[in-house]
Structure 1
Amino acid sequence: MSADLPADGTTHTMPEPTPEPTPDSVVDAAAAAAHEPTSETAVEARSELAQVEPVVGAAKPDAILVADDVVRRFGGMTAVDVEHLEVQRGAITALIGPNGAGKTTFFNLLTGFDTPQSGTWSFEGRSLQGKSGARVAKQGMVRTFQLTKALSRLTVLQNMLLAAPHNPGERFWLSWLPFTWKAHEKAATEKAVEILARFKLDDKAGDYAGSLSGGQRKLLEMARALMTDPTMIMLDEPMAGVNPALVQSLLGHVQALRDEGMTVLFVEHDMHAVRHISDWVVVMAEGRIVAEGPPKAVMTDQAVVDAYLGAHHDTDLGDDSLLDPEILARLEAEEEKR
């Protein structure tokens, strides 16, 4: 049956909906995700950091993590040699540096996945020296990995439930008594589904984790970390290998963690993301901390420019237009020829 026509015989078509723009680059994604702190804790943390002198080893008004004289050697090579570092509570701190600077090794030491030759570090005033990764996580400091650790042959939901703490059913004898753990499992499942929905992974709950894209696995690892209700979350290159559209989502989630009162320390190579969302930046080179301070100040610091680009002393690492991957590749190629 034909539709009724207007009296003048003309037809009208509904305009096509305008598609939402997709970020063309990590720069666009970082800028789109960036926003000012919204929670009282986050606003206060940034305000306090604004009063801190941007020097290596600067004391923070409310340090949640403190490390002293942490040294890790592999044979004759010193991978990490950090004299003093404090991380401000409730802020996003970025740990940056060129490849081989020792960032991931430092992460591994702080979170109990590696053992240093010397050094002490504490979290909320409690020593973590000699603690295993599991015990560090129980203290409230959890981490993700550069190469995601999702269990591919388990579903997304099962991956989440594995991270749920204090399950009575994990004890051998209680596992035979369902009434001791059924309520906990139900509550953990509801919590897992709620967190997955936040990361837009709830429709993937029944899928095998191995079927997820690289970016979705990053989201899953971040979501799984939240199952432990951490006080501080440490992200190792959360944006690595992720397409720009998903980078925007990841960056937004990182800022949301801060706005919920968590402390975030993340390793990242992409300076765009660092500049747009971090409150404080720490720079490592050859195992040592060579600079720290607010993003804009650090990006123009002489030691930072030297660490990244050698002789290009007039380069501003905070200039988004300059940090186009093609331009960086050209500058690095020029440096190799010197």
Structure 2
Amino acid sequence: MTAESPAHAGQGFAGVPRVPGSAKPDPILVADGVTRQFGGVLAVDVAHLEVQRHAITALIGPNGAGKTTFFNLMTGFDKANHGTWSFEGRTLAGTPAAQVARRGMVRTFQLTKALSRMTVLDNMRLGAREQPGENLFVSLVRPAWRSRESEITDKAMTLLERFRLEEKAQDFAGSLSGGQRKLLEMARALMSDPVMVMLDEPMAGVNPALTQSLLGHITALRDDGMTVLFVEHDMHMVRHISDWVVVMAQGEIVAEGPPAEVMGDRAVVDAYLGAHHDTDLGDDALLEEDSRITREAEAEADVGPGEDRS
């Protein structure tokens, strides 16, 4: 364990100003002037954002704030109208999604992307780098790729054991529950040995029985030296595992800071409850808003409240 990461991750923010766009001691991802417009709607308008290395950063905000669109821009799944961003000092603007992943930044999706008609193990194998068997001519010479395939399979099984999915290895991915598919997607992301993992609503549609397991896996990513940026509506999860919280509203970054401080920030209150109100964003208000947002997210994912996919 290095002095910079795992247990001491939160200490890296000690002198960081609690203002939007604040500079971080060791940023791994830096975005400047990033905008994305859909027709007359400015979905993302991020003037400046830095994500600290070896920390868990939560990106929160009401529905329609631009969080997932921002993820899509950073990871090459969408194209910005304007702006630049860099990962580990190398520009990523205009870089295709596959190349972004090869550079060490991978992401998961709110609605999982497991290939349902392939086995869990084969889904895992797809996430590995440097597969010589993908080359048409090399694939015809079994000795040229057999050793690498064995290495990939061993790595996949080790990760499936870590995520307690080893007994599902030969099952079709489509047979997994919603929570298990979330675990599979997170495990598959690790097959490429990423430096940074971006999780889009990892708890959406997950049975409460798997929630604690997912939380443990996310904190374990940081403890392994990775950087985590995640979108989430569950404020209790955000408070529990985040080192730093960034708040988006109407496409802009409106607040940043440690979880406890952000929850009491007036800009955050306004973002979630509207500018014209007299209610503090306390636990009751958060619970009520979390419940509403969760119901909407579950409806979009065709999952009933409190119900997992099975």
Task: State the distance in 2 between where 1:196 and 1:313 align.
Answer: 49
1:316 is aligned to 281
- SS of 2:70 mapped into structure 1: helix
- SS of 1:303 mapped into structure 2: helix
Identify which of 64, 83, 90 aligns with 2:47. Answer: 83
TM-score, L = length of structure 1: 0.83
What displacement does 1:255 show? 0.3
Task: State the distance in 1 between where 2:167 and 2:142 align.
Answer: 28
Superposition map of 1:1-338 within 5 A: 40=3, 41-310=5-274, 311-317=276-282, 319=283, 322-325=285-288, 329=292
- SS of 1:71 mapped into structure 2: strand
What displacement does 1:44 show? 3.6
CA contact (8 A) 2:235 2:290 kept: no
Task: State the distance in 2 between where 1:327 and 1:163 align.
Answer: 33
CA contact (8 A) 1:305 1:313 kept: no
Task: State the distance in 2 between where 1:323 and 1:105 align.
Answer: 24
- The one-letter code of the counterpart of 1:190 is D
- The one-letter code of the counterpart of 1:112 is G
Task: State the distance in 2 between where 1:313 and 1:141 align.
Answer: 41
What displacement does 1:312 show? 4.1
What displacement does 1:52 show? 0.7
TM-score, L = length of structure 2: 0.91
- SS of 1:119 mapped into structure 2: strand
What displacement does 1:198 show? 0.5
Task: State the distance in 1 between where 2:92 and 2:242 align.
Answer: 25
- The one-letter code of the counterpart of 2:287 is D
Task: State the distance in 1 between where 2:246 and 2:291 align.
Answer: 21
- The one-letter code of the counterpart of 1:43 is A
- SS of 1:160 mapped into structure 2: helix
CA contact (8 A) 1:302 1:313 kept: no
- SS of 2:210 mapped into structure 1: helix
The alignment of Structure 1 onto Structure 2 pairs a total of residues equal to 290
- The one-letter code of the counterpart of 1:316 is L
1:28 is aligned to none
What displacement does 1:314 show? 3.6
What displacement does 1:53 show? 1.1
Task: State the distance in 2 between where 1:313 and 1:81 align.
Answer: 28
Task: State the distance in 2 between where 1:222 and 1:196 align.
Answer: 10
What displacement does 1:244 show? 1.3
1:257-295 CA distance string (max 9 Å, x none): 001100000000111100111000000000001001100
- SS of 2:136 mapped into structure 1: coil
Task: State the distance in 2 between where 1:210 and 1:115 align.
Answer: 30
CA contact (8 A) 1:39 1:259 kept: no
Larger Rg computed on CA atoms:
1
CA contact (8 A) 2:107 2:189 kept: yes
Percent of residue pairs identical: 67
CA contact (8 A) 2:272 2:289 kept: no
What displacement does 1:48 show? 1.4
What displacement does 1:325 show? 4.3
Of 46-55 and 68-77, deviating more is 46-55
1:20-74 CA distance string (max 9 Å, x none): xxxxxxxxxxxxxxxxxx8641234311112211100100000000000000000
1:176-226 CA distance string (max 9 Å, x none): 001011000001000000000000000000000000000000000000000
Unpaired runs of 5+ in structure 1?
A: 1-37, 330-338
- The one-letter code of the counterpart of 1:232 is M
CA change 1:193–1:133 in 2 (3 A) is same
Task: State the distance in 2 between where 1:142 and 1:327 align.
Answer: 27
Unpaired runs of 5+ in structure 2?
A: 293-310
CA contact (8 A) 2:234 2:290 kept: no
CA contact (8 A) 2:30 2:86 kept: yes
Task: State the distance in 1 between where 2:246 and 2:204 align.
Answer: 19
Provide the aligned C-alpha RMSD in A: 1.5
CA contact (8 A) 1:306 1:313 kept: no
Task: State the distance in 1 between where 2:136 and 2:110 align.
Answer: 33
CA contact (8 A) 1:93 1:282 kept: yes
